[in-house]
Amino acid sequence: MKRLVKSTKPADGDQRKKAKKVICYPNDSINIKYWHNYQIARLDLVKVKEIIIPPRDAKCFEIKAGNFFRIESVDGPQVGDLNIFNLSNLEEKFYSGKTRALHGTHLSTGDQMWSTLPYLRPLTTITYDTLDWYGFDQDGGSVHDVIGTRCDPYTANMLSRSNYHYCCHSNLTRALVNEKKLNVEEAESLIHDVLNVFMCTGFTKDTHQYFMKASPVRPGDYLEFFAEIDILGILSACPGGDCSTDHSSDKAQCYPLKVSIFQTQSNALEEWASPKVSNYNRVHGL
């Protein structure tokens, strides 16, 4: 329910609310052409690099197109905030809103992370998820959401007058500054809404407010991706730990996260090629 209802319900109000729902973006036409090849290729992976993301910090990593990477829980339940960019063009970055519209509120095996307009193409494809068993729980919660924004110091300051410097927004920004030698203003304008890896979230059934609860992730769990293009990733180990109580403080128990990068020894991807940017012709449109 909305908190403040001032209007009078019309006589046909109940009837209006019975309108048939229509899926805004039917995704039946999204064909992952090489899905079977990905599944063959991932069975013959060789690790080529490993990055440890310290608690309450973020790091950048590069993935070449055609390689796989995993985000893994190592020491304890921990959630992470993930940004993805085109390695050679930081203006092409993850579009969480369109990804949510296409795949739903939470991502898992077989879903893709789409890039911003005017590019609109898959940046990654999720090829395996050890938490896909979770589904949706009794509260409507699920894992790996694209409904929440990264925790940030501005909202924390607005709500509690705090000045906390290790929110995921801050961590992601600092990591991009260090990696690309940008000034803070440039980097901050590029940081975007995230894939909340391992975070368990949903909307309350009464007020439909965004909620979080203890993540079901445990050491050894991982989310695996296939890089559709050359990408720059940034991962922040959230200062909320498993996000069971808070997500912007030094009080929560936090753990590191691990990013592992893999090449395949299989020939299953010999015919694979990176997806092209949108073929929408805007010359006579926009």
pLDDT of 1: 57
pLDDT of 111: 98
Query: What are the boundaries of each domain within the chain?
Result: 51-264
pLDDT digits (tens, 9 = 90+) for 104-132: 999 999 999 999 999 999 999 999 999 99
**To 10 degrees, the CA torsion angle through 36, 37, 41, 42?**
-30
Cα 220–chain centre separation: 19
- Name the stretches of the chain with pLDDT < 70: 1-2, 284-286
pTM for this entry: 0.96
Q: Which amino acid is at 91?
A: E
pLDDT of 118: 96
Is-contact 115 94, C-beta < 8 A? yes
Q: In 111-265, at which residue ranges do the beta strands (DSSP E only) sit?
A: 112-114, 122-129, 142-145, 195-203, 210-213, 222-227, 231-237, 257-264
Is-contact 199 212, C-beta < 8 A? yes
pLDDT of 270: 96
